[in-house]
Structure 1
């Protein structure tokens, strides 16, 4: 069974639902254009409430070291997720500088996009395959888009990657059966409106991702 990450947590109700449903990670978004953005104060409060109950991943988009450092401290982060156009060199620099695992989001629409993942394998601790958003989109993810999961065929059984992009309580079981990912990640798929997490959908997603648990 894959690990589960609920991204874009911004309220205590959503946090409590993720912990209750035994998700492995929450994602805290440090990107102001996102409706899921949290500032340092909110991140600190959520981290304090979470305690050791769940892992915390900070999402950053082409962020400088100062913003990453602030988010890392405020959210007591266990990992950093780079979701912009960061190069493999930048990913390696962030991992070396901050000393925590680094996840790199890979935007996917075609088989050619999958080829870019190889350049990041040695720089990142985990590659997160997410649906590519339109070129003029304001956000790099969290839009409910999905890509052709058959593109992940060669990644079946390999460690160090995760599946994101359009995952919902209704389709995550099929996604897991088809791709066998080590981790699944959802955000808009457990929302009632952009940025508004639905505790019932969080619980349903976790149940669907771990039907035997």
Structure 2
């Protein structure tokens, strides 16, 4: 994890090589994400996961990203990745999120695709059962991937939300626009994948370092980048006061 004075968490997702992972760790990323979804160019196979994840060595929290996983796949991923968090990036319902969290005893981050205000209607229900919420750009109908498409959305749609859970922003973020994003919406964290790549699934260590540095500079420019500034304390407290509007 980052030091206690870092109020903004930075997550680098879609890591699948030692070089990219080391760049994220050396840059000071708080969370490192590994994708297990065969349709994604960032897919990390079960057999490759243990050795790569072992390189983290406690320097960051680890996140395993899955899309509508069944129980068998979840069990395999938890065994291979030993993740601190499970990121659910599919159409999982609040009930399914709660069931996964209870069954596997891991913190859960639920990704919500956003294109309009109506896409936030279920936010309070998800906030009741997930440890974190990640806002991502909603893909076009029929898109191959549910996220990681390098597309921003209207950040103002998620401005001013308080659901009693840490909120993270994703979708088309880069070193060039993360400061603008954080100036428009105060979030507890930012998440990047395609924005630090030279090609789909090919991470750039230089872009990773630039993104983390830009996010840190942006956070330093806002003494209180998030009034929430939560730290995840585990699965005990799951009764947030929801004030989404």
TM-score, length-normalised on structure 1? Answer: 0.96
Choose from 169, 173, 198 the match for 2:175: 169
Q: How much does 1:195 deviate?
A: 0.3
Deviations 1:13-39 (A, max 9, x none): 000000000000111101000000001
1: CA distance, partners of 2:49 / 2:215: 26
1: CA distance, partners of 2:131 / 2:201: 27
Q: Which moved further from structure 2: 8-17 or 41-50?
A: 41-50
Corresponding residue for residue 113 of structure 2: 107
Corresponding residue for residue 49 of structure 1: 55
Structure 2: gaps spanning 5 or more residues: 1-6, 222-245
Q: How much does 1:90 deviate?
A: 0.2
Q: Which moved further from structure 2: 103-112 or 41-50?
A: 41-50
2: CA distance, partners of 1:78 / 1:153: 28
| Secondary structure of the structure 1 residue equivalent to 2:54 | helix
Q: How much does 1:3 deviate?
A: 0.1
Q: Is it true that 1:13 corresponds to 2:19 in the alignment?
A: yes
| Secondary structure of the structure 1 residue equivalent to 2:159 | helix
Q: CA RMSD in A?
A: 1.4
Q: Is it true that 1:155 corresponds to 2:131 in the alignment?
A: no
| Secondary structure of the structure 2 residue equivalent to 1:58 | strand
2: CA distance, partners of 1:21 / 1:42: 23
2: CA distance, partners of 1:106 / 1:78: 20
Corresponding residue for residue 91 of structure 1: 97
Contact 1:159–1:182, Cα closer than 8 Å, also in 2: no
2: CA distance, partners of 1:96 / 1:13: 34
Q: Is it true that 1:143 corresponds to 2:149 in the alignment?
A: yes
Q: How much does 1:103 deviate?
A: 0.6
Contact 2:150–2:173, Cα closer than 8 Å, also in 1: yes
Corresponding residue for residue 237 of structure 2: none
1: CA distance, partners of 2:163 / 2:27: 25
Q: How much does 1:158 deviate?
A: 5.7
Q: How much does 1:79 deviate?
A: 0.3
Deviations 1:150-208 (A, max 9, x none): 11123169642110100000001111121110010000000000000000000000000
Choose from 31, 34, 45 the match for 1:28: 34
Task: Map 1:201-212 onto structure 2 (within 5 A).
Answer: 201-211=207-217, 212=220
Contact 1:157–1:181, Cα closer than 8 Å, also in 2: no
Contact 2:136–2:147, Cα closer than 8 Å, also in 1: yes
Q: How much does 1:144 deviate?
A: 0.4
Contact 2:124–2:163, Cα closer than 8 Å, also in 1: no
Contact 1:61–1:84, Cα closer than 8 Å, also in 2: yes
Identify if the C-alpha distance between structure 1 residues 27 and 93 changes in structure 2 by more than 3 Å, giving closer, same or farther: same
| Residue correspondences, number | 213
Q: How much does 1:86 deviate?
A: 0.5
